[in-house]
Amino acid sequence: MTDLEKAKNILSQGHSVVAISGENAYISDGKGISPLIQFIDNNTSLENFSVADKIVGKAAAMLFVKLKVNKLYAEVLSEAGEKILQKYKIQYSFNTKTDKIINRAGNDICPMEKCVSNIDDIEQAYQTLKNQLEKLKK
């Protein structure tokens, strides 16, 4: 079984994001992009890791680029997220593709997607997303 298959299998047990490289594994049940921001803030490199995630839009895709992920599976992948993965040559697969990621209430675009919609720089996206999360915590 490949690392990506292992990650997908663990993801299917109800987790939100799973990263596997050989014997090394990171599993998170955090919501949205929070686990990805935590990985970055903790200086966790996911270089050479295979990752499975529930929902990958542009925001998550940009964070996966910063984390240096090389293989990614998304249960749901947005078109904007796919463009980022293609641009940065991250191997990916998905279950469902959608034109946009919707917020948890189901009535608008995800706020994280909104705040990076006009950003192309990975570092700027990370800082913007981190600031947005901090605002939402208050």
SS (H, E, C) the chain: CCHHHHHHHHHCCCCCEEEEECCEEEEECCCCCHHHHHHHHCCCCCCCCEEEEEEECHHHHHHHHHCCCCEEEEEEEEHHHHHHHHHCCCEEEEEEEECCCECCCCCCECHHHHHHCCCCCHHHHHHHHHHHHHHHHC
Q: Mean pLDDT across the stretch 33-46? A: 94
**103 near 59, Cβ under 8 Å?**
no
> What confidence tens digit (pLDDT) does each residue in 47-106 have?
999 999 999 999 999 999 999 999 999 999 999 999 999 999 999 999 999 999 998 888
**What pLDDT sits at residue 136?**
78
Q: Confidence class of residue 14 from pLDDT cuts 50, 70 and 90?
A: very high
- 138 pLDDT higher than 80: no
Q: Mean pLDDT across the stretch 12-18? A: 96
CATH (domain of 17):
3.40.140.30
**What pLDDT sits at residue 95?**
97
Domain extent, residue 85, equals 3-137
**What pLDDT sits at residue 137?**
74
pLDDT, mean over the chain: 95
Tally of domains within the chain = 1
**101 near 84, Cβ under 8 Å?**
no
Q: Which percentage of the chain shows pLDDT scores above 70? A: 99
